[in-house]
Every structure is written in structure tokens, then in C-alpha cells.
Amino acid sequence: MSAVSSAGSAGSTSSRRTVLALNSGSSSLKFALYDTASDDLPLLLEGSADGIGHDSGSFTMHSADGTIDLHDDGIFESQTDALQRFADALKEHDWASPAMVGHRLVHGGPHLRRHQLLTDAVREQLEAAVHFAPLHIPPALALIDEATRRFAGARQAVCFDTAFHETLPPQASHLPLPKRYAEAGVIRYGFHGLSYESIVRRLGHPMPARAVFAHLGNGSSVCAVRDGLSVDTSMGMTPTGGVPMGTRSGDLDPGVLLHLMRTERLDADALETLLNHESGLAGYSGGESDMRALVKRAGAGDADAALAINAYTTAVRKTIGGYAALLGGIDLLVFTGGIGEHSLEVRRAVCDGLAFCGIGLDDPAGRVRVLVSEEERQIAMICRGLLNTIA
């Protein structure tokens, strides 16, 4: 571990109105502190805790001015443990607490679809929405409570991954079920919204009229974007739907679930484990969900790994093709997410066959782009807007 600090860093942050963006994953917590006083929202420090809930983990934190550079090994039982480590490090280096903490929430249920300040009423609504995302909302609430305790003077804000998709038309958001279920909130919500919002911001104006964004990572989704607004997306009521993912099944014939319930007596918990943790790339390949490892195995002649990659890229390509029909063509295809950004093999396989809609990996018109999504910065920008409303 190395750590350097100076009194200058403490003095420089104490006079700033800063926003802390927290981006919680299944086994990680990313954090970034931004100065909201400047239009370009400069990054002051950032870091992450990885391996949360596992036997080994790591913690990194470094400041833009070079006065903090931490690299630790450690075990974190939960995201709240990781946040405690970050808050302690902030205090150890005499950095002032943030004015606002922005939290990425995967799901807020049917009544929380817009980024907003946290209030008692909002928290109660989150509690009531737990059944929409039982794996995500409880740890998010625990993280919010810990941030409220650790940064007592800061306002808390909730930024929803579903917010970007509030513009879905009824034919995209409503599922083919009796109307009473839609009225109870059983609809398509869509996810990766903060990632998609950040891509729209980075593309700027004027936006291409017909764009498709493919966020490809351990969780993957595709989104049809018309004039900067979401008009369809692959994930459904939960982040389990859509294309196959690292360990998630994506869309399945519902009859498969009925068959497993009847023949293997699987209950809801067993099905949840199967669909979220044992399926997708891991299901095809015999347990491997990392795309880099699958590409290597496939190159060595592993048929299961090759099947996993082919099924994954085919599903993404089919979804993009469907959105080309929906939009009446594609002016821009954007790849983002860990796989989308780093795997040329996946991008090539996805684009192979999209020539009919004018898309090719080596398109000289530049209609295929790779962009890094900036979820933490997007959270900070949302929070700056909310801070301005209460200033």
C-alpha cells in the first residue's frame, strides 16, 4: 500500500461543493468524487472495492492531484463494508465530506422512474418495491443508510437505471399479459439507463435520428434510440431478460420454467439461482462466464466455448436487426460495456451480417463506434442538477 497526502488537498476540497457518485455492482463498489462548481465537472478522486462477498478482494483509491494513491488487499462482506473503508480513507487524508451522495439503483419499481432526492417517502417506496428486484434493492438500501450515517451533512439522491426507458411507448413497455398485471407494475422497465444516458450526453447534439446502443458486459442489453430517446430495449421487468449474459439466461420460452417446476420440483428460489447465476455464457460453456477466457478456449478448439460466443453474438445481432426494422434503419451503432469496449472478436461477430442495414465494423462512414460509458459522471451530473434546485 502507498499513501501520500497533503494539507493542500484538504483545504482545496473543503471549499468545494462536491458530489460523491456510488455505483454498486453485485461484487463491486465504484466511487468517484466530482467538483460541481466547474462546468466540466472535474474528477477529484475515484476508486473501487472489488471481490465483495468473496474470500479475497481489493481496494483502490487515487486522487486527480496525486496526493492519494491507495492499493489494498482486503475482504469486504458487503458494499457497506466497502463504503466504510472509503469513508475512513477520506477522513484519514483530511478530505471534506461531499455535499451530496448519488446512488445508482438498478430498479425502483413502478412508482420511482425519475432521478430524485431521497426523502422518507421515497425510501418507503423503495422498501415497497423490493419484490421487483430482491437481489438489488435491499443491498442498495443498506448502502444508502450507511452513506446517510457516514456523511451526515450530505443530501442523498437516487439515480435509477430504469429512468432512461420511461419514454418506451406502450407497445414496447406492455407485456402480453392481462391488463391487470400491467396495472400492478408488471411491465418492461429496461436497464443500463445511466450507461445509455451517458452515451447520449457524449454524442451531443444533434443526435443521430436512429441509433442502437449495445451495452455488452456481464450484464448485457441492447436499446433502440430515436432522437435520443429510448423506444425499445431488450431487458424486461428485470435485468434477467433479453440476450444471454454472463450468468443470466436472457429470454426463455416460459414453458421451460413450467417444465422445470414440474419435472425437477424447482421453486422460485431455485429458479432464480438457475436463471441469474448458472445460465447464459456459463450455462453454454460449462461454468465459464468471462468472455476473454471463452475466446481463448474457442481458439483452442473448445466447442462449448465456441457455442457460447456464437449464441451470444447471434442474439445481439438479431436484436440489433430487429431494432433496424423498428427504426427504419440505423444511423449509428454504439458498443459499450466491458465486452463491447474491449472485445474486437465480439464486435466483429455481431456486425457480421448487418450489412443489409448499412452496418459494418470497418464502415468508412463511421456508423459503428465504441464509447466508454461514464455512469459515475452521469450520476454526478444528475446530482449537480438536483443540488441546484435546493441551493
Q: Tell me, yes or no, whether 37 and 126 share the same domain.
A: yes
Q: Are 340 and 350 in contact (CB under 8 A)?
A: no
Q: Tell me, yes or no, whether 336 and 281 share the same domain.
A: yes
pLDDT of residue 390: 84
Read off the amino acid at residue 154: A
The tally of domains found in the chain comes to 2
What would the pLDDT profile of 170-221 be if each residue is shown by its tens digit? Answer: 999 999 999 999 999 999 999 999 999 999 999 999 999 999 999 999 999 9
* Predicted TM-score of the model (pTM): 0.93
Catalytic residue of the set 161, 290, 304, 352: 161
pLDDT of residue 27: 86
Q: Tell me, yes or no, whether 126 and 213 share the same domain.
A: no
The answer to whether position 202 is within a domain reads: no
Q: Are 185 and 110 in contact (CB under 8 A)?
A: yes
User: Which segments in the chain show pLDDT lower than 50?
Assistant: 1-12, 14-15
pLDDT of residue 39: 87
- The set of residues, in sequence order, having a beta carbon less than 8 Å from that of 225 and lying 6+ positions away, is 196, 200, 207, 210, 211, 212, 213, 231
pLDDT of residue 11: 39
The answer to whether position 217 is within a domain reads: yes
Q: Are 239 and 248 in contact (CB under 8 A)?
A: yes
Domain of 94, in residue numbers: 7-160
pLDDT of residue 2: 35
Instruction: Examine residue 42 and say whether the peptide bond preceding it is cis (omega within 30 degrees of 0).
Output: no
The answer to whether position 256 is within a domain reads: yes
The answer to whether position 27 is within a domain reads: yes
The answer to whether position 176 is within a domain reads: no
What is the layout of strands, in order, in the sheet containing 28-35?
Answer: 69-74, 57-63, 43-50, 28-35, 18-24, 100-105, 155-160, 116-117
Q: Are 312 and 244 in contact (CB under 8 A)?
A: yes
pLDDT of residue 5: 32
The answer to whether position 1 is within a domain reads: no
Verify whether residue 227 is a known catalytic residue: no
pLDDT of residue 8: 34
Q: Tell me, yes or no, whether 230 and 336 share the same domain.
A: yes
